[in-house]
Amino acid sequence: YEMGSVTVSPSFGPTDGSTNIEIAGTGFVKPYHNFVDYTFLFMEHEDGNVVQVPAEVVSPTLMIAQTPAAEVGQYAVYYTLDGKEVNKSPQNGTFYFYETPTLVSVEPTFGPATGDTDIVLRGSFYQTRNARATFWMPGGESVDCLWVSSIEIRCTTPAVSNSGLAIVNVTVDTDDT
């Protein structure tokens, strides 16, 4: 069977792992053994560090896997089937592991229950355009944020049903802070 290059989605996630990824390509074959899945996804860091995780073949063009914990950095993605064929093409997709985001400050720290307060959230955030902030309190909701830099995102508070303390939770892609 012919094994082509692959793409990975999403192509980044936190170093603590557990990001569900889809690997799209061609020529994926389900293992012939009923008792063991010999399909593995390999990720190789530029420094030579290799991590391996089991992957499930869903169709001839799709595999799914969950990323392992790994060091920060860019990893080339390739795979084996039954431990024999290795796809190690330079055209393959990559996966970037980033440090787990942290929220350090929220400014300003108060605003009206009617919402519409522009706030700045500072911390360490991966360079993504998919940040959301959730304001946890009765009637709280999540709002989209504007990514400014890897240490700052901005958003506007939503209206809430009651005044009081809200817990701010930032979601960067699939990782909660």
Tens-place pLDDT, residues 68-109: 888 888 888 877 766 655 566 666 788 888 877 788 999 999
Q: Over the chain, what HEC string results?
A: CCCCCCEEECCEEECCCCCEEEEECCCCCCCCCCCCCCEEEEEEECCCCEEEEEEEEEECCEEEEECCCCCCEEEEEEEEECCCEEECCCCCCEEEEECCCEEEEEECCCCCCCCCCEEEEEEECCCCCCEEEEEECCCCCEEECEEEECCEEEEECCCCCCCCCCEEEEEECCEEC
pLDDT at position 162: 77
pLDDT reading at 13 higher than 60: yes
DSSP bridge pairs for 150: none
Q: What architecture (CATH level 2) is domain 7-98? A: Sandwich (2.60)
| pLDDT tens digit sequence for 22-71 | 988 887 777 655 444 445 666 777 777 777 888 888 888 888 989 988 88
Q: What architecture (CATH level 2) is domain 102-176? A: Sandwich (2.60)
For the chain, the C-alpha Rg in angstroms (whole number) is 20
pLDDT-above-90 percentage for the chain: 11
Domain boundaries, the chain: 7-98, 102-176
Least confident window among 95-99, 133-137, 142-146 = 133-137
